[in-house]
Amino acid sequence: MSASSVTPTGPRRRVIIVGAGLGGLACAMAMHYQGFEVLIFEKIKQFLRLGDSLGLGDNALKLLRRWGLYDQLVAIGNKSPNMNIRRWNDGKILAVQPLMDMAGFIGHRGDYHTAFIERVEELGIKINMGHEVESFDEEAPSITLTDGRTFFGDIIIGADGIKSKTRELVLGFSDAPRSSGYACYRAYFKGDCLANVPECQPILNHDCLNIWIGPDMHLVQNTLRDGEEFNWILTHRDTEDITESWFQPGDMSDVRNLVKDWDPMIVSAVSATSSCLDWKICYRAPIPTWVSKSGKIALLGDSCHPHLPTSAQGASQATEDAAVLALCLTLAGPGNVPLATHVYEKLRFDRVRQSQLSGEDVRNRWHNSLKSLTDGMEIDPDELKIKNRWLYSFDAEEDTRRRWDEISARVKEELASGNLTPLFGDEGPSRELLARDAYGKIKDTQSNKVPLPTLTV
């Protein structure tokens, strides 16, 4: 892509995807299978094996199977049939739940990401690394990179994560993260670090997943590849004001102090851990639209609906987004991108919001369920289980086909009247007023727009 400006040629419609994380790559696969030309731009120059445990539920896997990516993902995931929910101080098992009911196949995010990348490249889609977007023209629509080159398409999709630059264009202002009141200490390391720790042996030499719950805290432990890899994530109350980052080093002395009175089996694992990351869980309110004013730029995944780790659905919901948006573009037909994008957001919002709230619900139950118990009382195991089963039977493509006529008819009326109903809030206020109410901060939308140079191929 050495040309200064690239415009679509031929009958194929072009989709430009900003961001090559799991959501952006799922979108690339979905768009490819709907027959679109796909361009992906990623500002990172080289991907590393970042992150730790991530789950893919059957709602996502059934779509990925259609796109030629399944066996590779199953091979990555935890092979344990069940997970155990344990009491914080003595490790007593309070509930046992099938792992597929909890989060589906749980594996290392970096390994899943690699599998997604390899499949996208097998499909002949190039991932343009080290290409950062400087500005957007939503009417064209087009993106201009920091090196001055401009690329035009039929639609631009912002899959650029929780710190999305595309979201700023859609909202019309920059939304600063809010503290959720919680943070995670996270560690992922080779299991042989625990080979000489006797207390860890019951959770070391086979795939397993255990969750210790206690007052205002829970710890998820994941053993992969028969003990080759070991992971723990401690979620705790934290109101410290700090920039959200995956790379903030954690203080292991603070972690050990938090769990010093916990079950010796997991305390021994934490004590043997040399380092961890400190991830402040930040909150973003639901936004009134996922679509720009022109209807030609749409958000996907974390850029419009970030999930808590306890939802175990962030990547799966982004995959559903990809399937729905691609199918909406096909059903709307050429020249009807605004119809497709507004149907897409209406089809997705309620389900995504319920998925997000499910993550809040399980965290709150885990952190509070033992507070009111007195000696001798037993807790109902069902009160501790993740309530995600309802998510898995859903088929995003089937649902889109079934509801298309109804929702598209409504959107056509709204587009004709110029009165688009926001995704949340009263129908009366404008998008700007809803945004101001949600975030209390407005930015001039024109500050993101710069004149595009006249360039030739």
Look up residue 24 and give its two tokens: 């952006």
97 domain residue, yes or no = no
Q: How far is CA 25 from the centre of its chain?
A: 12
Based on the fold, state whether residues 50 and 168 are members of the same structural domain: yes
Same-domain status, 253 and 161 = no
Residue 148 region by backbone torsions, left for phi larger than 0, else alpha for psi between -120 and 50, else beta: left
Q: How far apart are the C-alpha atoms of 435 and 156, rounded to whole Å?
A: 22
Q: Are residues 171 and 192 in the same domain?
A: no
Same domain flag for 165 and 188: no
Q: What is the pLDDT of residue 244?
A: 58
**Over residues 336-347, mean pLDDT:** 98
The 10s digit of each residue's pLDDT in 210-236 is: 999 999 999 999 999 999 999 999 999
How many angstroms separate the Cα of 335 from the Cα of each of 34, 39, 410?
16, 19, 18
Residue 235, domain extent: 178-283
Give the model confidence (pLDDT) of 357-382 as tens digits: 999 999 999 999 999 777 678 899 99
Assign residue 272 the CATH number of its domain.
3.30.9.30
Q: For the whole model, what pTM was predicted?
A: 0.88
The C-alpha atoms of residue 132 and residue 16 are separated, in whole angstroms, by 13
Strands laid side by side in the 14-18 sheet: 127-129, 37-42, 14-18, 155-158, 297-299
Residue written as token pair 């361009």: 39
Span 55-72, mean pLDDT? Answer: 95
Mean of the per-residue pLDDT values for the chain? 87
Query: Model confidence over 126-155: pLDDT tens digits?
Result: 999 999 999 999 999 999 999 999 999 999
The answer to whether residue 369 is domain-embedded is no
Q: Last residue of a domain, which of 283, 309, 341?
A: 283
Evaluate whether residue 29 is within a structural domain.
yes
Residue 250 lies in a domain: yes
Contact 77, 104 (CB under 8 A): yes
Q: What is the pLDDT of residue 389?
A: 87
How high is the pLDDT of residue 176? 72
What is the predicted pLDDT for the residue at 451? 29
What is the tally of structural domains in the chain?
Answer: 2
Beta-sheet strands, E only, within 191-270: 208-214, 217-224, 229-237
